[in-house]
Structure 1
Amino acid sequence: MVQVREMDEGDITAVSTIRVRGWQAAYAGIVPRTYLDAMTVEDDTAQRRQMLSRPRRTFRDLVAVDDSGSTVGWVCFGPCRSEVSVAGRTQTRMQIGEVYALYVSPQLTGQGIGGRLLSEAHTQMKDQGFEASALWVLADNRRARRFYERAGYEADGATQDDVYDGVTLTELRFRRVL
């Protein structure tokens, strides 16, 4: 059983390890190997420390901690970074939350940890007044797409392209009502 709590400075290295190893596992065969191999826990840790130290953060970080006290998952969420049209009207960023990142230790995927983190993120977004949640998923990441669809998300037709070591990959935006 995992407990979900607010991330603190003591979690940073574990979260960075989960994020980097998560990328390397989830995106193998999708994102160029050169890009994945260049990712380091040290670089990610430095970036995460800087982000966590911001005095006026608009995002929240939660971690999943197992019975032994080890950090085994992480979710980051906050206001949607773009406008989203719903039923013909444009909603502002403050009406829609966004899951920016969700990762679980690769050896623990499929054990409900990601679902637990996502559920708590939804609860907190709703408590903050968000009406819906959005997120972006690489089009070729079928496993993640199925996970989010089981959680009630649907692709809404929006796409964006990201370039990784010269390779353009398409992301799909998914959305659900909270």
Structure 2
Amino acid sequence: MDLGATEPDTVTIRRATVDDADAIATVHIASWRGAYAGIVPDAYLASLDVERRSELWLKSLSEGVAHTWIASDRGRTLGFATLGPARDEDAEAGDLELYAIYLDPEAWGRGVARDLMRTVLGEVRPGVPVSLWVIADNDRARHFYRRHGFQTDGVERREDIGGADITEVRFRRG
């Protein structure tokens, strides 16, 4: 389904179930390939496998440690977001982390990510800190997070992604 130049007209957001693992994996990989082209090595992006990613999502959704929401339009999964306990060494009990928010590139710029973020943040009690990590060179994501009240806090980490040394920066809000 090509979304064209208009916003999807029947987007619904709901909690994901194990039955959504394949669709989440498909969106996850499409989003990585679109967002990280030119940042992460092409060979790594090409090697991403929906079946393997689906298995990881099935495990994550089954464990229930984090909560995942999906956005869909007429039965097609457009994006997802996952929120769970903060995993950083300096996190305090009760702090949360946005582990992921990814959209099918065809849904970019159409308000779906905004609606997902509002839904996720609506589940957070007032005053509870939420952090997230973003690749430093991902300007589109950094701008999106700032629009939703997140700010960099000066903490960075280096990750090897497909043989490339990638800098990630932490954003926080609350």
2:170 to 169, 173, 176: 173
Between the aligned residues of both structures, percent identity stands at: 35
- 1:53 Cα deviation from its structure 2 partner: 2.0
Write the deviation string for residues 66-111 of structure 1: whole angstroms up to 9, x where unpaired. 1x12211100111111144xxxxxx5141x2110000111111011
- 1:166 Cα deviation from its structure 2 partner: 2.1
> What is the alpha-carbon distance in structure 2 between the residues aligned to residue 8 and residue 59 of structure 1?
12
Structure 1 spans left out of the alignment, 5+ residues: 85-90
- Conserved? CA contact 1:82–1:93, under 8 Å: no
For 2:87, the aligned partner's letter is R
For 2:103, the aligned partner's letter is V
Write the deviation string for residues 20-69 of structure 1: whole angstroms up to 9, x where unpaired. 01000000000011111110111101111122222xx3210110121x12
Q: Normalising by the residue count of structure 1, what TM-score does the alignment of the two structures yield?
A: 0.87
Secondary structure class of the residue paired with 2:109: coil
> What is the alpha-carbon distance in structure 2 between the residues aligned to residue 142 and residue 24 of structure 1?
15
Secondary structure class of the residue paired with 2:113: helix
How many residue pairs match? The answer is 165
Partner of 1:135: 132
Q: Normalising by the residue count of structure 2, what TM-score does the alignment of the two structures yield?
A: 0.89
TM-aligned CA distance change 1:148 to 1:70, over 3 Å: same
TM-aligned CA distance change 1:7 to 1:39, over 3 Å: same
Partner of 1:118: 117
- Conserved? CA contact 1:78–1:125, under 8 Å: no
> What is the alpha-carbon distance in structure 2 between the residues aligned to residue 17 and residue 139 of structure 1?
24
> What is the alpha-carbon distance in structure 2 between the residues aligned to residue 37 and residue 104 of structure 1?
18
> What is the alpha-carbon distance in structure 2 between the residues aligned to residue 34 and residue 6 of structure 1?
33
